[in-house]
Structure 1
């Protein structure tokens, strides 16, 4: 089993990492890079294998990166299963985000240097590996003082939360947002970013054996209200909206009946943004919500947003900068994490696919 990621553990790791990566290039060439490779789509535990891999040529604009850690996200699983919207050519290496340190750069690389910490600016590049050569344009430098657990999980869930809270109407301090899947990586980031902006959150979760602990965890992150899906359906929920304004924004990561319940509680001309479909059910929309409340339905996918803004990365850099500022101030922390060595990847995959597991599985390279 792995060890939980702690701030103290991160502080101890950083000087070791910094010392170890200086001059690592020669050592890296002696030890073959390895990665989690799949040659066909299917269940991850059945199709993934830890294999020696070849590095691309550095070239003029390449960046040789030693990967440090990378999470296991639902989108990673879906990509391996072959059900995701984008699928890399096979054979492929799993993983869509993570943090690494630059070992060496091509002669024309200007934005990065040896020793820099970097995250990926796009998806589908394969982060479940010990080393890689990425193009300069696919990497973003992040501050050295950012905890590694935050850095490894920065480019997908916090970015999704940030954009949904920023791009779908003007939210002012005192306004409220309602979301399902509130204990997910996106949900936890929504709670913290909203709290930093003075926006109240109504957070819907599934009932479970350890519900009390989950409620306390989410409230410690800044959640104003945490309720179950069953509670959301009861008439007594109207009492809640006597204390806070009806939500202007609903964030749907589940679909099905859960999404319909969010719609019921949106204010007039409110917006529901769907970013996931954990229930694998369509979103039933009451006609009354469209006609009498004039609600707006939108979708959001962070990969598409990044690709649409790929030519001018200023918005992406600004967003990452703001998120890093929140991290520095202690206003944005990573989800509870469980570290798993890369060689034990099957344990990480198994844990990530269990119901009611709150810990994010992090592969250590």
Structure 2
């Protein structure tokens, strides 16, 4: 049982500040707020946060359009790293106490952009000492998604995959991890500056979506590499556009939609492709994967990802670390320039 008088502790963090104006920047959708740390419920641990990144999913949540209902006034932030300082979670919680852990927020509860966080013990993954706080803070959402997406492509028998918005951290992770499994990658980007970056990273083909010959180039690349899986974080018009260039029987795995296209929320696909070309569309959400997986599967995924970090195969690009004072401006920069790298909140900075 928890012995710490948590009700006397005061937390400080950025809470959701819902707004109806769709044009407001992300920084106007959060508010620095103090509130007491509640007592631990059974199965929970208390964590002193060291670092927490901003992910595209956080930006979508700030708009009130994520898969979880917005909890106005609750702290925001889906992942991070910290030290477990108290636990009410049996032997596992006792073992975690004092350890540095990568952590996911407990759905429906306070998030992690704060000095302290409470979550379930099984949402905590002990982190190797060799991994820095900044890298450990980004260990769960993007790297685990990259691994799971490539593993699903393998299950579908893909020899090659198309990855859109490929300059994202998930996209870069997919390129690195797919290369280890001899799966070819066709990366699409919107910025000329990302072409050479992804080529050096090991993508087999990098295409600029604004090129006037893009559709022809994409069709040729899909035919050459026999790309049968699309890893789709753009959605909207891009899903049918890319699938049109791919062979019959291809599958789109949709795992996101670019924040700036979230008005209205939704996606598009070609009914004719689904009926006559046997095109399939499925979704992936890491939170559901981790919820449905057994503890051994989650532990094995964590070990695999940390090993890839240790080998330098996975590495998250960091644009800026910020304390509470500088965080709103850094948040707005990330919202407009995601490919620059992650913004990391460090409460003690």
In the alignment, structure 1 residue 98 sits paired with structure 2 residue 80 = yes
Matching residue within 139, 145, 159 for 1:154: 139
Does the aligned pair in 2 maintain the 1:351–1:357 contact within 8 Å? Answer: no
Which residue pairs with 1:304 in the alignment? 288
Q: Which of 248, 252, 255 pairs up with 2:235?
A: 255
* Pair 1:273-2:253 in alignment: yes
Task: Tell me which residue corresponds to 1:363.
Answer: 345
Q: Which residue of 2 aligns with 1:116?
A: 99
Paired with 2:40 and 2:125, the residues of 1 have a C-alpha distance of: 18
Within a 5 Å distance, the mapping from 1:202-221 to structure 2 comes to 202-206=186-190, 208=191, 211-212=192-193, 214-221=194-201
Judging changes above 3 Å, is the alpha-carbon distance between structure 1 residues 155 and 41 closer, same or farther for their aligned structure 2 residues? farther
Contact 1:63/1:135, CA 8 A, preserved across alignment: yes
Offset, 1:272: 0.7
Instruction: Give the drift of 1:250.
Output: 0.5
Whether 1:64 aligns to 2:46 is yes
Unaligned runs of 5+ in 1: 1-24
1:130 CA displacement = 0.9
Aligned residue for 1:99, secondary structure, equals strand
CA separation of 1:141 and 1:194: change in aligned 2, threshold 3 A: same
Matched, 1:348 2:349: no
CA RMSD of aligned residues (A): 2.9
- CA distance in 1 between counterparts of 2:327 and 2:227 reads 41
TM-score w.r.t. the length of structure 2 is: 0.84
TM-score for both structures, normalised by structure 1? 0.81
Query: Which deviates more from structure 2 when the two are superposed, residues 330-339 or residues 34-43?
Result: 34-43
In 2, Cα distance between equivalents of 1:285 and 1:78? 21
Partner of 1:38: 16
- Give the 5 Å matches for 1:153-302: 153-168=138-153, 170=155, 175-206=159-190, 208=191, 211-212=192-193, 214-231=194-211, 233-241=214-222, 244-278=224-258, 279-280=261-262, 282-302=266-286
Instruction: Tell me: CA distance 1:82–1:59, structure 2 relative to 1, closer, same or farther (3 Å).
Output: closer
Larger mean CA deviation between 276-285 and 247-256 belongs to: 276-285
Pick closer, same or farther for the CA change 1:285–1:350 going to 2, 3 Å: closer
Call closer, same or farther: CA 1:258–1:47 in 2, change over 3 Å.
Answer: closer
User: How many correspondences in the alignment?
Assistant: 332
Distance 1:287 1:110, change over 3 A: closer
Structure 1 residues 291 and 135 mapped into 2: Cα distance closer, same or farther (>3 Å)? closer
1:78 aligns with 60
* SS of residue matched to 2:102: strand
Contact 1:61 1:135 in 2 (8 A): yes
Which runs of 5 or more structure 2 residues have no equivalent in the other structure? Answer: none
